Structure 1
Amino acid sequence: MKQIPERAAVPEALTWDLTPIYADDAAFKQAVAAIKAQAKQVATKQGQLAESAGDLYEVTAAIFDLNRQLEKVYVYASLKNDQDTSDANAQALSGQAESLVATVAAATSWYEPEVLALPQVALQALIDAEPRLTEYQHFFDVLGEQRDHTLSAAEEKLLAGASDIFGASAKTYSVLSDADLKFPVVQDEAGNDVQLSEGLYGVLLQSTQPKVREQAFKALYSVYQQFRHTFASTLSSEVKTHNFSAEVRHYGSAREAAMSSNNVPAVVYDTLVKTVNDHLDSLHKYVNLRKEILGLPELHMYDLYTPITGEPSLSYTYPEAQQEALKALSVLGPDYVANVQKMFDGRAIDVVENKGKRTGAYSGGMYDTKPYILLNWQDSLESLFTLVHEMGHSMHSHYTRTNQPYQYGDYSIFVAEIASTTNENLLTDYLLKTQTDPQVRAYVLNHYLDGFKGTVYRQTQFAEFEDYIHQQAAAGETLTADFMSKFYGDLNQRYYGDGVISDPQIADEWTRIPHFYYDYYVYQYSTGFAAATTLAQRILSGDATKRDAYLNYLKSGSSALPIEVMQKAGVDMTKPDYLETAFKTFDERLAEFSKLARELKK
């Protein structure tokens, strides 16, 4: 039976090197002690902001430096914990970092209320009087937008001190789903016994054997359904936390609070949901085509991921995938490619799955570290796309951090998914241009259509569910497992239509979606994918000015509002045009795929 390896058995070359952050855990603990002392010192500065322009600068710079050191500690601990969530020592480091976040938040919670207590005219006069403050002008402008939603210093300190408590539900969910759940042994396509995991589950759902897909689907959900009431409790508590925070800060809803924190207008969300629902017929058409080509009497939810064209025509080892990624991304220029190569050569990527490792994939790091990527590699086209996706995040981080000062050296969540999905679109175009075999082209087109389904449609479905449970909780409804499953099951049926059997297990899919704990994050996957379609087309036009506009977006960080950053890159996300462009591309590729798939079936 194939076993998932222990962390210690993974070859060093396939693990990330965290020593550039801290040489060892002792250095980490020294940094924690230093930050605690620094936090106490910063806390003594309360009440001094209005004394002079020089004081305003010194305190502002000190707080940014404190947060900078805190981020480094947090990144080290979280990466170490994620590589093996069952490691007690890593859990302890992560706990120390999370506790430190609450300590620093409490020590600095007075700062923003004190700044906002200054009349706008008085604050601007201080900024104008101190040349060193001009580099913080945009920061103060954005902060000013929160005047009506910032509490008194005492109230902010109280909330900041409870941040660790407010995060308990998400932490409990993460530990339960990543470390404590034990999945059964199932059989792969060759009849071999394999230990089911979230990573392997994604592979088995792509099997060409319906029984393998069905077995994996039912086995996975049999575990989650045992704990559905526990997951309902953790998710309900998380939703209550979001609603509570929005209410005490005088927002009309949790959604308004979340979008306001990213300076994203509500019209972006509303336009997304409306436009996607207007195009559900395209998804229904694709689902019905899948049923036809697969020749299935019934199409189930576990049949939505297997390639319609049969066995995957493309698979890549990790070294092979690196080379393909470099070729696909070459349209972004030699500097971009060189920085990708540095990621490959510098042990910045944790590649393979091991016991206790966090599931999925992400790009991490902070201003003073290189970007880090977590993968759970499988030799598949999907893993190649995941690699290119996370590399988009990492290059976004690299260009932002090397072109912006620390205060603007990060970027809004709203624009974060655009860089990653632009890379995915570029990879799709590369494969369609280099693969002439009809079977391979059909497979790539199928992959694109599945990606669109899983991102634009699926994440908008998630967004609708997320918004619904927040609204219902705010109205006093108890979010029981049965209540959430009923709505989720009905919503899933509406999205996929009558062409697919909504298996009863799918109503509990919300139990295994970690992003529902991220406070209105998921809609941005959809907007990001759609915007990336337009940006990829601009890059591939061969017009160097359009490519440079995209690279400038990567370099902008948070130096301007996210909507403004995207407008400069060539996409206005307050209008539905970019969404319509994305659906037009989906329909065109669906038409090409339909023709190819039917010809191949003859």
Structure 2
Amino acid sequence: MSENKVKKREDISKEFKWDIESMYNNEEIWKKDFDKVKDLKEKIKEYKGKVVESGKNLLSLLKLKDEISRTIANVYTFAKMKQDEDTNNSKYQELTDKASTLMVNVQEALSFIVPEILSIDKEKIDNYIKENEELKLYEHYLNQIFRQKDHILSDKEESIIAQIGDVASGPENIFSMLNNADLEFPTIKDENGEDIEITHGRFIPLMENENRRVRKDAYEGLYSTYRDYKNTFSTTLSTNVKKNIFYSKVRKYNSSLQAALDEDNIPTSVYDNLIKAVHNNLDKMHKYIKLRKKALNLEELHFYDLYTPIVEDIKMDIEYNEARDIVVKGLGPLKEEYVNVVKDGFNSGWVDVYENKGKRSGAYSWGTYDSKPYILLNYQNTLDNMFTIAHEMGHSMHSYLSKNNQPYIYSGYSIFVAEVASTVNEALLMNYMLESTKDDKKKLFLLNHYLEQFRGTIYRQTMFAEFEKLIHERAENGESLTAESFSSIYRDLNKKYYGDDIVIDDNIAMEWARIPHFYYNFYVYQYATGFSAAIALSQKILNEGDESVDKYLTFLKSGSSNYPIEVLKSAGVDMTTEEPVNNALKIFGELVDKMEDLL
């Protein structure tokens, strides 16, 4: 029983914790940077009304803006990641709140810059760039500003919008605290009759359990808890939708979807084409669900049967250190330049490995221009968690290569391409596993896992994207959003995507309440587009060799130095067409047929 109890933070060995103290050794150093931001915030006010008086003024201001942004990023990221270590730690809750408030104040202080830049003709800015070589660095940044000129407001209006930033983050913060800190799930009996507490980190491993009673108890235990709080979750999500609509209206967009995509110059047709392409390939998904039902020999297939492996008697209990070594081997096609950095990252405090009491659920890669590209995990000894390591390491390597090859202003990368590197890593790892595994039963197990990646990343994330689009459209049309309407929409989508061979119940209709990505403003569709692009790139890497590897690494080093669709095109993938999605789902269909033949 004690093994199933979640450990406290202090009981986990240092080798399995990230080295976040390399950002700030103590709170005094953190406070010094905190105060520095406050001072610089006041200094930048001296440029108000003078931004475009000369090229020299513009350059000095942009440099100062970078310094402020870079420092506040360190201050906020450190505090938030320390809070994520233990969301019940009131000290870091307080530091995060202070950093968040300061960040909003910084945004307010910087809000006059863009309107002032737009107060003069683009031709004058171009002349400044010609006259001042250093300003050329900011040419793409300045072009982006003028591209969005119709949606930039006056100095005063931008200041007001910046001031409400702290309030606007309320829905996501409330969801996070309720979901991670306050929500308590029941304890059930595991397959050995021992008590085991349901947690976010344990839920999927419990769903993979061969014992159907354990899966059912975990599934019902988790969703009954969400149902108890359905009105709170629905109010929080509804408020978040209204926030997105507010921003889109004041910035004169036709919809909240257009507003969200325009930042990266992504046409809404990319979003709509994704949904359309997936709808046109739902027959393959329905066939896979029917095959799963048949393989598991079930009269009724339930959603708690979706994660358990189709292949019986295959145990892949993978300890973290073993998983780490397999990931390194799987990434071999990316050559030494890439693999050596991955190895170093594993050994130099990039990764926070295990779940502890109060730790933020899930997994992510995060950091700043000046920090390591940290990885948060809640590692369980499963195949899926090993792929999570590869996934998050893809994010971290993308960040590492971007920041080491781009100036600060272009060191980040668009969320549109954010899932490409992570999924390329997963695809390469899967290829390695299939190639190196001689046992046919294990190959079938891996094939099942690969199909689940397609299901979970293209089909499921597109279903999420469609849900997000529908709830925003309803609100934009003046319709109310309640727990019942959320559940009704979500139930209908599950029926459409999964077909007639699975039971659509009241539990799955509540799943919307536990998805944090619905607070990320049309983020999830990029998992599906990113996966499709990644399948194309991984095929090129495996089949075409060094030239494609070099193009791919150049893509990873490009940061935001060009628009994301253009950056991807240079690597060999055009996401303005339906082709990558259709090709990925064609592969999915072929894998389903292959599994059917092997079973």
Q: Does structure 2 retain, via aligned residues, the 8 Å contact 1:207–1:311?
A: no
Distance in 1 of aligned mates of 2:196 and 2:315: 23
Q: Which residue of 2 aligns with 1:577?
A: 579
Q: Superposed, which structure 2 residues align to 1:137-286 within 5 Å?
A: 137-286=139-288
Q: Does structure 2 retain, via aligned residues, the 8 Å contact 1:313–1:439?
A: no
CA drift of 1:594 comes to: 1.5
Q: Which residue of 1 aligns with 2:558?
A: 556
CA drift of 1:569 comes to: 0.3
The 3-state SS of whatever aligns with 1:262 is coil
**Alignment counterpart, residue 295 of structure 2, candidates 293, 296, 319:** 293
Q: Which residue of 2 aligns with 1:11?
A: 13
Q: Which residue of 2 aligns with 1:38?
A: 40
Distance in 2 of aligned mates of 1:27 and 1:200: 37
CA drift of 1:311 comes to: 4.1
Q: Which moved more, 1:383-392 or 1:181-190?
A: 181-190
Return 5+ residue gaps in structure 2 as ranges: none
CA drift of 1:145 comes to: 1.0
Q: Which residue of 1 aligns with 2:400?
A: 398
Q: Which moved more, 1:468-477 or 1:507-516?
A: 468-477
Q: Superposed, which structure 2 residues align to 1:52-91 within 5 Å?
A: 52-91=54-93
Distance in 2 of aligned mates of 1:48 and 1:82: 41
Q: Superposed, which structure 2 residues align to 1:85-100 within 5 Å?
A: 85-100=87-102
CA drift of 1:335 comes to: 1.2
CA drift of 1:313 comes to: 3.4
Distance in 2 of aligned mates of 1:402 and 1:575: 31
- Per-residue CA deviation, residues 58-108 of structure 1 (Å, 9 max, x unaligned), is 011111111011111111011101111110111111111111111100110
Give the 3 Å change call, closer, same or farther, for CA 83–209 of structure 1 in structure 2.
same
CA drift of 1:523 comes to: 0.2
Q: Does structure 2 retain, via aligned residues, the 8 Å contact 1:313–1:440?
A: no
> Which letter maps to 1:511?
A
Q: Which residue of 2 aligns with 1:469?
A: 471
Q: Which residue of 1 aligns with 2:372?
A: 370
The 3-state SS of whatever aligns with 2:22 is coil
The 3-state SS of whatever aligns with 1:552 is helix
Q: Which residue of 2 aligns with 1:458?
A: 460
**Alignment counterpart, residue 52 of structure 2, candidates 50, 53, 57:** 50
- Per-residue CA deviation, residues 404-452 of structure 1 (Å, 9 max, x unaligned), is 0000000000000001011111111111100111110001000010111
Distance in 2 of aligned mates of 1:320 and 1:164: 43
Q: Which residue of 2 aligns with 1:521?
A: 523
Q: Which residue of 1 aligns with 2:359?
A: 357
Distance in 1 of aligned mates of 2:224 and 2:79: 32
CA drift of 1:294 comes to: 0.2
- What percent of counterpart residues are identical? 43
Distance in 1 of aligned mates of 2:269 and 2:438: 42
Distance in 2 of aligned mates of 1:363 and 1:337: 18
The 3-state SS of whatever aligns with 1:194 is strand
Distance in 2 of aligned mates of 1:43 and 1:478: 42
CA drift of 1:209 comes to: 1.3
Q: Which residue of 2 aligns with 1:413?
A: 415
Distance in 1 of aligned mates of 2:334 and 2:120: 45
Distance in 2 of aligned mates of 1:201 and 1:385: 17
Q: Indicate yes or no: 2:157 matched with 1:121.
A: no
CA drift of 1:312 comes to: 4.0
Distance in 2 of aligned mates of 1:187 and 1:548: 51
Distance in 2 of aligned mates of 1:44 and 1:509: 50
Q: Does structure 2 retain, via aligned residues, the 8 Å contact 1:313–1:443?
A: no
> Which letter maps to 2:12?
V
Q: Superposed, which structure 2 residues align to 1:538-557 within 5 Å?
A: 538-557=540-559
CA drift of 1:52 comes to: 1.0
CA drift of 1:29 comes to: 1.5
Distance in 2 of aligned mates of 1:69 and 1:500: 51
The 3-state SS of whatever aligns with 1:546 is helix
Distance in 2 of aligned mates of 1:360 and 1:540: 30
- Coordinate RMSD, CA, aligned: 0.9
The 3-state SS of whatever aligns with 2:83 is helix
> Which letter maps to 1:536?
S
Q: Does structure 2 retain, via aligned residues, the 8 Å contact 1:314–1:440?
A: no
Return 5+ residue gaps in structure 1 as ranges: none
> Which letter maps to 1:394?
S
Q: Which residue of 2 aligns with 1:496?
A: 498
CA drift of 1:202 comes to: 0.7
> Which letter maps to 1:457?
Y
> Which aligned segments of 4 or more residues in structure 1 are displaced greater than 4 angstroms?
none
Distance in 1 of aligned mates of 2:312 and 2:116: 63
Q: Does structure 2 retain, via aligned residues, the 8 Å contact 1:71–1:366?
A: yes
Distance in 2 of aligned mates of 1:59 and 1:255: 32
TM-score normalized with structure 1 length:
0.98
The 3-state SS of whatever aligns with 2:361 is coil
Q: Indicate yes or no: 2:135 matched with 1:133.
A: yes
Give the 3 Å change call, closer, same or farther, for CA 192–311 of structure 1 in structure 2.
farther
CA drift of 1:542 comes to: 4.0
- Per-residue CA deviation, residues 239-287 of structure 1 (Å, 9 max, x unaligned), is 0000000000000001000000121122211110000000000000000
Q: Which residue of 1 aligns with 2:588?
A: 586
**Alignment counterpart, residue 486 of structure 1, candidates 464, 485, 488:** 488
**Alignment counterpart, residue 381 of structure 1, candidates 364, 383, 391:** 383
